[in-house]
Chain A
Amino acid sequence: MNCKTCQQDILDSLSAGENALSAVSARHLVSCAPCAAFHREQREVFHLMQSALAASVNQPVPPSLVPGLRVRLDEDADSARFFLSGRKRAALPAALVLVMGLCLLFRGSLRHASVTVHVPPAPTPSAPLAAQAALDVAPSASAVPRPIVRRSAPPLPDARQPVEPEVIVLPEEREAFERFIAQAPDNQEAILALTRPLPDDNDSPVQIALLAIKPLQVKPLESSEE
């Protein structure tokens, strides 16, 4: 047996937790001083390792471990009892149904609420439309963020009040719109047509008449020679 094999055998036996070496290795150790020294050294390393590991692991348990756990368990039991005990447990589904009903009701009412974002003043016949439109245009249009317009169903028309023209101009188009109003021709009707809101009622459906083909009369071509 050579020294390398013997040292490997020493390491294997110590790693396996066995103190006894094989007979061949034991005989080699008697005659080889370096291997005997290696054996002593490795045995010490393994012994130190085991004792250090045991010392690190087998620390005394702190006495506050259980009281701390008890406090946590009590708190948990408290909260569990508060939320899920006796009659409260029975009332929980009913409360859930009530909350869901309220939520649905609230959503429904929100849907019907009308939010008017932009209501310009009513135009007067004397005031020029250009000035009227200029009122709606913000001076720093580029800095203003794009408005979010939420509109609900149109309000019922009031016979006493005239129809108010409503112009919603995007911020990036306001400057151009202002220029257009300033340079617009005197044709007031054209401006009104541009600024007036679209009527709410839809166009009447188009009716297409069926193609009617009258009875054809086939006549022979008359020769011009006759």
Chain B
Amino acid sequence: MQEFVLNPPARLLSADPAEETGTTSARSEFELRLRECGPLAFRIARAVLRNDADAEDVAQEALFRAYRKFDSLRDPNRFRAWVVRISFRLALDRWRSAKRRERRETVWAMPHSHPPAPTAEQIAASNEFQTRLDRALDELPDKTRLVVILSAIQGYTLEEVASILEIPVGTVKSKLFHARKQLAEKLR
């Protein structure tokens, strides 16, 4: 398990003592939030993108933006909610642009041909259930999708999900209920 600690390098220490103190305190506060929000940002991005490298990029970008806005996000709940939202948005943007690129490249590469039907061995080899689940998840509305992802992350209760998304617990339950029903219908 990695440790989430950001130590300011010695070469960056400012000449102004007050400025240095302010920066160091902001940085140490940010480190504290990062212990929870770092993995959270990564997991949300990973759930959308299903790719570790892309998810890492997105999580870094989200956390970087959070650090730059840290003065207005000192409240821990607000910070966490902000990181979740920005991670999800950035991941969705990247996922959509990748989809567009993929579609364009497919059209240009094979304008009039259809992909060959997969053989029984290929179907067996690929994790078909996972693929179908991913596709079904992608078709969920954005807000419902975020609720499903957050509630699937280990260690988060429905109350915490509601607190992160700043919505009532009943709304979280309702969204989860409809999402599960919809997913099960598509997987059947």
Size bin of chain B's contact surface: 35 or more
Q: Can you list 28 A-B pairs, Cβ within 8 angstroms, ordered by A?
A: A11-B181, A15-B177, A49-B133, A52-B133, A53-B152, A56-B50, A56-B134, A57-B152, A57-B153, A58-B153, A58-B154, A61-B39, A62-B56, A63-B2, A65-B2, A66-B2, A66-B38, A68-B60, A69-B6, A69-B34, A69-B38, A72-B64, A73-B67, A81-B14, A85-B15, A85-B16, A85-B19, A86-B15
Task: Indicate which residue in A46, A72, A76 contacts B184 across the interface (CB closer than 8 Å).
Answer: A46
**Chain A to chain B: the 5 pairs with minimum beta-carbon distance, closest first:** A15-B180, A15-B181, A53-B152, A57-B152, A63-B2
How near does chain A come to B7, taking the closest CB pair, in angstroms?
8
| A14 with B180, Cβ < 8 A, contacts A57-B152, A63-B2, A65-B38 known | yes
Contacts of B188 in A (CB 8 A): 45
Q: Which residues of A contact B (CB under 8 A)?
A: 11-12, 14-17, 42, 45-46, 48-50, 52-54, 56-59, 61-66, 68-70, 72-74, 76-78, 81, 85-86
| A77 with B12, Cβ < 8 A, contacts A46-B180, A53-B152 known | yes
Complex contact B154–A14 (CB within 8 A) = no
The A interface, classified by DSSP as helix, strand, loop or mixed, is helix
Complex contact A49–B60 (CB within 8 A) = no
Contacts of B129 in A (CB 8 A): 48, 52
Task: Indicate which residue in A45, A53, A65 contacts B42 across the interface (CB closer than 8 Å).
Answer: A65
Contacts of B21 in A (CB 8 A): none
Task: Indicate which residue in A49, A54, A61, A64 contacts B180 across the interface (CB closer than 8 Å).
Answer: A49
Q: Which residues of B contact A (CB under 8 A)?
A: 2-6, 8-9, 12, 14-16, 19, 23, 27, 34, 38-39, 42-43, 46-47, 50, 52, 55-56, 59-60, 63-64, 67-68, 129-130, 133-134, 137, 148-149, 152-154, 173, 176-178, 180-181, 183-184, 187-188
Contacts of A72 in B (CB 8 A): 60, 64
State in angstroms the CA–CA spacing of A81 and B177 once bound together.
51
Given contacts A14-B184, A54-B154, 11 further A-B pairs with CB under 8 A are A45-B187, A52-B129, A56-B152, A57-B43, A57-B46, A57-B153, A65-B56, A66-B34, A68-B60, A74-B12, A77-B8
